[in-house]
Amino acid sequence: MKYRYDSEAREEYRNAIHFYGKAAERFFDAVESTIERIRNAPTQFREIEPGVRVCRVPNFPYAIYYTIESSEIIIVAVKHDRRDPGYWRHRIP
Question: What is the structure's pLDDT at 69?
Answer: 93
Average pLDDT of the residues in 47-65: 97
CA distances from 1 to 36, 66, 69, 87 (A): 9, 13, 11, 27
Looking at the DSSP bridge assignments, the partners of residue 40 are none
What distance in Å separates the CA atoms of residue 20 and residue 18, rounded to the nearest whole number? 6
Question: What is the structure's pLDDT at 93?
Answer: 76
What distance in Å separates the CA atoms of residue 8 and residue 14, rounded to the nearest whole number? 10
Q: One-letter amino acid identity for 67? A: T
Question: What is the structure's pLDDT at 34?
Answer: 98
- The residues spanned by each domain of the chain are 2-81
Do residues 81 and 64 make contact, with C-beta atoms less than 8 angstroms apart? Answer: no
Which CATH number applies to 2-81? 3.30.2310.20
